[in-house]
Structure 1
Amino acid sequence: MESALTRARAIELAEDHLESGALLRELERKVAYPTESESGERGDVHRDYLREEIVPGLERCGFTWRLVDNPVAERPPYLVARRVEDPALRTVLVYGHGDVVLGDAERWTAPWSPWRLVVDGDRWYGRGSCDNKGQHAINLAALEQVLRVREGRLGFNVTVLMDMGEEIGSPGLREVCTALAGDELAADVLIASDGTRVAEASPTLVLGTRGEVSFTLRAALRPRGYHSGNWGGLLANPAVLLANALATMVDARGRILVEGLRPPAIPDPVRAILSTIEIDGGPSAPPIEEWGEPGLSAPEQLYGWNTLEVLGLSAGAATGPQNAIPGTASARCQLRFVVGTDHTAVGTTVRAHLDAHGFEQVVVEVDPEITAATRLDHDDPWVGWAAASVERTTGKVPTILPNLGGTFPNDCFADVLGIPTIWVPHSYPGCSQHAPDEHLLASLAKEALGIMAGLFWDLGEEPTPLR
C-alpha cells in the first residue's frame, strides 16, 4: 500500500509540473533557442542549449556529464550524462534531441513566431514544442519528481543522451554509439519519446521505426537546352525520359513495381496488432486516399509496408519555362521501408531495374546516410511491462505500434547498442510537426508527465526481473 501511495504521489507531482506553470516556463526558454540543425550557423546555439537548458536539471538530479565531440566535422557535440546508484542495478538509456527543423517564420500564423511559445487554449505553439523539446522536457521532469519522492534514490541507473542533429539524420551518432557501447552507453533498455501517438486520446508504445534511404535519379543528356522549335523531335527530352523511368518504378496508384524495393509479407503477429489500430490525424488531417499497395488497410500501408515517394522533380525553368528542351532532369526519391527489406542493395536494385527497362542513361545516386528499420518483438517482456505500467497510470490499454511510419535513429540503439527500445510519444498526429504552427497539447503533456513518472517509478521497484 505504501508503494502504491508513493507512486501516486510521484505521478501527482509530475502532473503538477504542468499545473503549476513550471513546464510552460521551461518550454518558453527552450523554444527561444533557434536550434535549427539544417542551418550551418547554429553551432554556438546548440552548445548553449545543452549547457544552459539540459545540464542544470541533470546536475540537480546528481548526474555527471560531458560533451562528446562529434566525429563528423563541424557538427555539434553529443551530451552524455550518467547517474549511477549501483552498477548491479539495471540501467535505462533516455534519449532526446534538442535540434529542430527550420523555423519557417514567414509561414506561421501571424503574429506567432517559431521562437516564442504562444498559448492558445490547449495548444502551445512554438518550434520544437512537440519535436522534441517538449517531449524530453516531460521525461526529465518526471524523472526528477520520482527522485524527489524516493528521497534521492531511483532504484536504477540512468544515462541521458542528447542529440543536436536528429533532424538531419544524427550525423556521428552511430560512431558515438559504437565507441561507447561497452561503457558509457551500456544499458538494459531504451525508454525515450519522439514522434506521435496513433491518436490524441490513445497512449502509445512504439517498438521501432521504418527505415529511410534517399536517392536521386538524374538524366543529364547535354550541358544546355535547345530551342524546341528547331530541335523538337530530334533530341531526347530528359524530363520525358525520367518521367517514364519513374512510371516503371511506381504506378499511377502508388504501388511499388520494383520487386527489390517491396517488403516481405507482413508477419501475422504484426498484422494482428495493426488490425486493432485506426489512423486518426485529428480535424486538420487530410483525408486518407486510395493509394499504395492494393488490399492493405491504412495501418498496414503506413506501418507494415514500404512506400516509394518522389519528393522533388526538376527540369528546365519550372517557374518561367522557355521554349527549350532542357538538358537535364532529376528526381529526388525516398524509400521508407520496414524490417526485412534489403536496404543495402537499393542502389544496385534500382540500377538493374532501370537497365532492364532501357533507361541506361538515367544515373542513380544513393545518399550515404541510411537509417535501418527496427522493430522490437512484441513478445519481448519489456513490452508487457511498459504496457502494464501505462495502463496502471492512465486506466487505458495503450496501443502497441510495431514501428512508426516515420524514421529516427533507433537503429543506433537497437542494432549498435543491442538493447530493447520502447518509445512513448507525447504528441499527436495533428501537431504540425515539421510545419508552420507546430504545437504541443497541454492536456496530452499532463497525461504524459504522469505516464513517465509511473514508468520511472516502476523501474525502481523491487524485485527487478527485467535485466
Structure 2
Amino acid sequence: MGFRPPGGRGRQRDLSCPDIRFISGGNRVIPADLLAEATAHVDAGRFFTELAALVGYPTVSDHPDGRAAIEAYLDQALVPALTELGCETEVHPNPDPAGGPFLVAIRQEAPDLPTVLCYGHADVVDGHTGQWREGRDPWTLSADGDRWYGRGAADNKGQHLINLTALRLLLEHRGSLGFSLKFLFETGEETGSPGLAEFAAQHRDLLRADVLIASDGPRLDAATPTLFLGARGAARIALDVDLRPDGYHSGNWGGLLRNPATTLAGAISCLVDGHGRIQVPELLPAELPDTVRTALEGVTVANSPGDPVPDEGWGAPGLTPAERLYGWNTLEVLSLGAADIERPVNAIPGRARAMLQLRHVTGTDVGGAAEAITKHLAARGFSMVGVTVESTFPASRTPVDDPWARWAHRTLAEVVTGPVALLPSFGGGLPNHVFTDVLGLPTLWLPHSYPGCLQHAPDEHLLAPVAREGLVLATALFHALGQRGKAARR
C-alpha cells in the first residue's frame, strides 16, 4: 500500500448527448475507442438489459422475503460479474444479527500497484407495488424516454452496475486493470448498515486499500458530473412535553394550565428560529473551512427542471445555498403534534411531542447534543421539555485538498468539456465514516444519479444520459488510475 497520486461548478447543458472529449498526454492517455465503447454499451441497449436483470430481484432488506432475494442476488448476479473480473469472492456473515451478509471480492495484480476498494449495496427499500404511475411494476425495468423506471435502478443497482461495467470494459480492452481491486457489497444499507462498521474493523487486513472509489447518492444535478468526498451525519432529537394524563376544557382552564403544545412551539423556536437559523452554538460547526468555501464557489443547487426554488432568507445567514447544504449544519422539524390535529376539541392537551433532525458536518459534538439542548432550554424557562437523542449517524469527509481528491477531480474534468462539481460532503447520509474512520481511506464518490430520481419512492428511475455519461466517467477514472499504477512501477 502507500501509493499516492501526485499532488466544480454547476451548469446546465443538454444531456441527450453528453459533451465528451477524449484526453491524451502524460500517463493519463485514455483511448478514444475505449470511451466510445462505454457510450455504445448504453446506446446499444446492453446496459439496460443487464440492469433489468438486477432490478428483477426484490432485494428489500427490511422484509423477510427480501432475505432470500438478497442471497440470490449475491449468488446469481454479483458473484458471476465479479468472477468475470478475475476476482476471488467470499460471502461473510454479519456480526450483527439484524443485518444481512457481506460479499467481498478481490483481484490481486502486482503487489506494488495501488489497491482500490469499491463499494455498493445490494438491498433496496420497499417496492411500493401498486403505487407507481401507469401501472408500472417496481421489479420490471421499463423505459419511458430517457427515464428507466424500477426499484433500485438508481439506488443502488444501476450505480454499482456502471462501475462493474467500467471495470469489465477496461479489463477487456487492456487485459489488466493496472491496479488491484477489492469490492465490498453490503446488504443492509437501507436499514442503516447494521454491522458494517464492526465487520470493517474485524477485517481491516482483508479490506486494506489505498483509496475508496464508490457510487451512491445523487450528483449535484442531472447535467453536472460530480465528485463528493463524504457525507453529513444526522441525529434525530425527540422533544417531549408530557404535563398531565388528561386534557382539560380550554374555556374552564385556559390561562391557568400550561399548554404543552404552546410550550413545545416556544421551545423549538429557542433551538431553531422561524427563519431556519440554529440558535444553539453547540449544534453548529466551528467554521466553514476555506478549502470547503473555495470548492463550493459557483456551485448552484436546485438547478434541475421541477426542483423547488430555495427560499430567500431561510437558513444560516451569510452562506450560499451550496454552503448551507454541503458545508454547514441544519436543524429541521420532521414532525410536530398534540392531540388530534385533524379533529381538534376544545381542550388543552396533556402532551405534545416533536421530532427534530440535525444534519451536521464533521466536527460537530453530537454526543453532547442532548445535554447542550437541555441546558439551552432550561436557561430559557423550558426545563419541562424532555430531550432525547434517539439515533445518530456519523459525519465524515476526505479533505478537499487531499491528493486523491485533486487527482480524481482533475481526471474527470479532462474527460468532459464542462465543469465537474467537487462537493466536500453529500447532503444526505452514507456510511462513509466506515471507510474514513475505521479503514483510514480517502474516499471518492462518483454518483450516477440525480436529485429528482425519486429513490425510496414510487417511480424511482435512472436517467439514460446520466448512465451513459457515468459509464464514460467511471471508465476514464479507472483507466487513469491504471496508468498511474504503471507509472509508479517504473
Which bin holds the TM-score, normalised by the shorter protein?
over 0.9
Tell me the amino acid that sits aligned with residue 408 of structure 1: L
Q: Which moved more, 1:20-29 or 1:442-451?
A: 20-29
3-state SS of paired residue (2:148): strand
1:282 aligns with 2:313: no
Query: Structure 1 residues 465, 162: closer, same or farther in 2, change over 3 A?
Result: same
Partner of 1:450: 472
Partner of 2:101: 77
Post-superposition shift, 1:464?
4.5
Tell me the amino acid that sits aligned with residue 328 of structure 1: R
Partner of 1:403: 425
CA contact (8 A) 1:208 1:410 kept: yes
1:199 aligns with 2:216: no
1:15 aligns with 2:39: yes
Post-superposition shift, 1:40?
5.2
Q: Percent identity over the alignment?
A: 48
CA contact (8 A) 2:232 2:427 kept: yes
Post-superposition shift, 1:335?
0.5
Identify which of 77, 81, 84 aligns with 1:57: 81
1:178 aligns with 2:197: no
Identify which of 177, 195, 208 aligns with 2:230: 208
CA distance in 1, matches of 2:81, 2:258: 62
Partner of 2:408: 386
3-state SS of paired residue (1:149): helix
CA distance in 1, matches of 2:460, 2:352: 34
Partner of 1:102: 126
CA distance in 1, matches of 2:121, 2:153: 12
3-state SS of paired residue (1:393): coil
Partner of 1:348: 371
1:431 aligns with 2:482: no
CA distance in 1, matches of 2:253, 2:73: 57
Query: Structure 1 residues 185, 251: closer, same or farther in 2, change over 3 A?
Result: same
1:272 aligns with 2:294: yes
Unaligned runs of 5+ in 1: none
TM-score by length of 1: 0.93
Identify which of 208, 216, 222 aligns with 2:244: 222
Tell me the amino acid that sits aligned with residue 401 of structure 1: L
Partner of 1:93: 117
CA distance in 1, matches of 2:442, 2:351: 46
CA distance in 2, matches of 1:31, 1:424: 21
3-state SS of paired residue (1:367): strand
Post-superposition shift, 1:227?
4.4
3-state SS of paired residue (2:194): coil
Please give the root-mean-square deviation of Cα atoms over the aligned residues, in Å: 2.2
Partner of 2:463: 441
Unaligned runs of 5+ in 2: 1-23
CA distance in 2, matches of 1:21, 1:214: 43
- Deviation per CA, 1:171-199, whole angstroms, max 9, x where unpaired? 11111111111x11111000001112212
Query: Structure 1 residues 247, 85: closer, same or farther in 2, change over 3 A?
Result: same
- Deviation per CA, 1:275-329, whole angstroms, max 9, x where unpaired? 2211144111111112101221111111121100111123222333344433322
Partner of 1:36: 60
Number of equivalent positions: 463
Partner of 2:265: 243
CA distance in 1, matches of 2:488, 2:406: 13
CA distance in 2, matches of 1:275, 1:384: 16
Query: Structure 1 residues 69, 323: closer, same or farther in 2, change over 3 A?
Result: farther
- Deviation per CA, 1:399-446, whole angstroms, max 9, x where unpaired? 211111112110110111111101111112222233332211101111
Post-superposition shift, 1:138?
0.4
Q: Which moved more, 1:216-225 or 1:282-291?
A: 216-225
Partner of 1:307: 330
CA distance in 2, matches of 1:280, 1:246: 27
- Deviation per CA, 1:365-398, whole angstroms, max 9, x where unpaired? 2124x22222222222212221232133333332
TM-score by length of 2: 0.89
1:27 aligns with 2:51: yes
Tell me the amino acid that sits aligned with residue 203 of structure 2: L
Query: Structure 1 residues 211, 59: closer, same or farther in 2, change over 3 A?
Result: same
CA distance in 1, matches of 2:111, 2:249: 74
CA distance in 1, matches of 2:35, 2:29: 10
CA distance in 1, matches of 2:445, 2:272: 32
CA distance in 1, matches of 2:351, 2:67: 36
Post-superposition shift, 1:144?
0.8
Tell me the amino acid that sits aligned with residue 72 of structure 1: D
Partner of 2:186: 163
